[in-house]
Amino acid sequence: MDVLMIPNRIEDFTVDWLNAVLASTIDAQVTECRVWQSEEPGQTAEIVVIEAVFDRDDPALPTRMIGKYTSQNPQVIEEIINVFDQYRRETSFYRDFEDPGIAIPKCLYQAFDAERQAFVLLMKDLGPASSPSWGVSTDQVEYGLRQLPRLHARWWNHERLREKDYFVQFDDEHFFAMGFGGAAAIVPGLAAHFDNVAVTEALMPAVAEKLPKLQALYGTRPFTLVHGDYHAKQLFFPTDAGGEFAAIDWQFPFVAQGPWDFARLLVVTTPTEFRRGNERRLMEVYLEGLRAEGVSDYGKQDFELDYRLGMIISHMINVIAIGSTDVSIVARECESLGVDWKEVLFYRLQRALEEWDVLGLVESL
């Protein structure tokens, strides 16, 4: 891999660069391009939009693309990327999985340089589909949840997953120790943002202490391919102008329990009142979907246990995001959408953790 093929600035996305990286997959030459920073910045990577003109007309050519490349925020690189290895995980995923069982963007080029912790993904734009981000509707959440059984059933207890070292494996002691240890270290500072942190203050240290037993429990559970960060900002939905559903941002693919994805989308992105009134119904929809895809030995009690485990992981991810990224990015975006960022990143999950007595589960191990 030529490290020069990994842009480090928006100015590096040039006609020459596009022609070099697309040469093996597209039989056409880019003659002009226009590049600009996305209006919706990523928290762990930089995002650019690319409009390209080719030397021939063909509706199949990717005249609009998305470039995702190394974050320019040193704190993100030091505290998240260097620790959790997302760039290697995501580029490897797109290299190996073109059709994982859920729609994903078409990846036109990917590269990763471990020495510099630098990466780039060049993907076909998903428009006219769009992401509602934190302003997602409950109907869209239901649609997103209904896509999960096909993904999870395809990889149910599939040994190929265990061969991929870029997936976060459920028995990866180092990863989970860093994750839960990091979250526990951030907990004392949460009171600067939130009025009520009691559940989280008790849970995160308890999880860090009980981690060996918690991972032993993971090892008794069915496993599958889990997106890991399956929330509305990572999902694109059809619009009146067209487009198709897709899940983006595969920086945290897990080999773990399927309801982890279900918990992240439902609990984080819907108001608590909706979740309380609909989670049982939506659980059954998920289980019916698994059965339709051939998974017959997984029932309500199985789901409820894995749902609780998924809430723990989801809250750990959010706590680390609060402590190690620029939360003002989320705050500004949520404000523009009429959503309370504190609800999204903290309170919704904390309420669900309390209602499902997840601390009691952890302490019982």
Mean pLDDT of 65-93: 93
Q: Give CATH superfamily name and number for 3-124.
A: Phosphorylase Kinase; domain 1 (3.30.200.20)
User: Residue 334: pLDDT above 90?
Assistant: yes
E strand intervals along 22-173: 30-37, 45-54, 64-70, 107-113, 118-124, 168-169
pLDDT at 1: 44
User: pLDDT tens-digit profile of 151-192?
Assistant: 999 999 999 999 999 999 999 999 999 999 999 999 999 999
CA atoms of 126 and 106, how far apart (whole Å): 9
User: Residue 221: pLDDT above 50?
Assistant: yes
What is the CATH number assigned to the segment(s) 133-363?
3.90.1200
pLDDT at 27: 95
User: Residue 3: pLDDT above 60?
Assistant: no
pLDDT at 163: 97
CB atoms within 10 A of CB 1: 11
The two domains 3-124 and 133-363 share their CATH topology (first three levels equal): no
User: pLDDT tens-digit profile of 84-137?
Assistant: 899 999 999 999 999 999 999 999 999 999 999 999 999 999 999 999 999 999
CA atoms of 163 and 143, how far apart (whole Å): 31
- The residues spanned by each domain of the chain are 3-124, 133-363
Percentage above 70 pLDDT, the chain:
99
Cβ-proximal residues to 280 (8 Å cutoff; 6+ apart), any chain:
none
Helix extents (H) in 155-271:
159-162, 173-186, 198-218, 259-269
CA atoms of 358 and 365, how far apart (whole Å): 11
Task: Give the global pTM.
Answer: 0.93
Cβ-proximal residues to 132 (8 Å cutoff; 6+ apart), any chain:
140, 232, 235, 237
Percentage above 90 pLDDT, the chain:
91
Mean pLDDT of 309-323: 95
Side-chain half-sphere CA neighbours of 259 within 13 A: 26
